[in-house]
Amino acid sequence: MEHPASGKAARKIELVCPAGSLPALRAAVDNGADAVYIGFRDGLNARNFRGLNFDWPDAQEGIAYAHSRGARLFVALNVYPRPEQWLAATQAVDRAAALGADAVILADIGLMRYAATRHPSLRVHLSVQGSATNRHALEFYRRELGVRRAVLPRVLSVAQVRRIVAQSELEIEVFGFGSLCVMAEGRCALSSYVTGRSPNTHGVCSPASAVRWEETPQGRDARLGGVLIDRYAHGEPAGYPTLCKGRFEVNGKTAYAIEEPVSLNVLEILPELVAAGVSAIKIEGRQRSPAYVAQATRAMRAALDACLANPAAYTPPAASMLALERLAEGRTHTLGAYHRPWQ
């Protein structure tokens, strides 16, 4: 499917990789990222974690490193700034422009208008937190706010992605690997219900500061904001207590009532996403280590190259599958909403 009018004719698909730190940025670029995305150390992006993100010297070094090796750099500024954060948020947009970032990733429409007004040549990508899941929403962001690319929430099937790409003039970026939000991004306040902080308000979900581990006679308890999210038997591997991925009682049965600890992995359906005409595939995980980023990027790069070289003959490369399986949350993966059982 070609879109000459919107410049989608070039069938390059950008591999967009997470960089929570300078070493992770280098790892991503060295292992085949076409673009990396970073956040500033200002609490204004969706991975507002201690010890993570870029100060100004690191950002400058990072963009020089990326650009010198042909990779683009995006700056995620994707919280919804509260009034007291507004000035800092606009300053962060200014800083991204001054840095020479290839795009800013925004969620807040007020901030988008600021960027479009003050920095008309700065590319704006709609963050997944912007929750655009259909062509009308995308058109609003494009026409009114000059958005050039949208990252789709992980709630759409491949058929829906295909339709959106065909109908929208925006470039479309989709998630390919990483931790899985089972909720529509930007539409989830579960974390603030329990901890007072959410992705929308503070750029965090199930923040570590609210986690408490307790050894009890029954096993190991994982609490978030005091709420028992999961209880692990002695010897059972324990995962991070993301609150939608705990075990709860529903109709008298204990189960992963919302979602299992599992990662998204699209390797099996890469040819379908390529055929759908997506412009970019994104790896989640700015909170991850440089080693993780290196392995995930390498695995995804190999698979994407194989797929683009010969989509018809493509099967997920065994080495890539194995590598991603090892990195996956709960060591298992899913196609999430892309495939039928979720729809």
Within positions 37 to 76, which residues make up the interface with other proteins, using CB under 8 A? none
Q: What is the DSSP letter of 277?
A: T
Q: Determine, following the binding rule CB under 8 A, whether residue 101 of this chain makes contact with other proteins.
A: no
Q: Determine, following the binding rule CB under 8 A, whether residue 188 of this chain makes contact with other proteins.
A: yes
Listed ranges 182-190, 262-270, 274-282, 298-306: which one lies at the site for other proteins (CB under 8 A): 182-190
Least Cβ distance, residue 245 to other proteins (angstroms): 13
d(CA 15, CA 304): 8
The residue assigned the tokens 């189960």 is: 255
Provide the mask over 191-220, with x wherever binding to other proteins is found by CB under 8 A and - wherever it is not: -xxxxx-x-xx-------------------
d(CA 172, CA 134): 12
CB 292 within 8 A of CB 326: no
Crossing angle of helices 109-118 and 86-99, in 10° steps, is 40
Q: Between residues 18 and 336, which has the closer beta carbon with respect to other proteins?
A: 336
Total interface residues for other proteins by CB under 8 A: 72
The whole-angstrom distance between residue 57's C-alpha and the CA centroid of its chain comes to 24
Least Cβ distance, residue 189 to other proteins (angstroms): 4
Within positions 242 to 301, which residues make up the interface with other proteins, using CB under 8 A? 244, 246-251, 254-255, 257-259
Q: Which residues is 160 bridged to in the sheet?
A: none
Q: Between residues 101 and 194, which has the closer beta carbon with respect to other proteins?
A: 194
Within positions 108 to 137, which residues make up the interface with other proteins, using CB under 8 A? 108-111, 113-114, 129-137
Q: Which residues is 177 bridged to in the sheet?
A: 265, 283
Least Cβ distance, residue 211 to other proteins (angstroms): 14
Q: How many residues are given for the chain?
A: 343
Least Cβ distance, residue 94 to other proteins (angstroms): 15
CB 282 within 8 A of CB 13: no
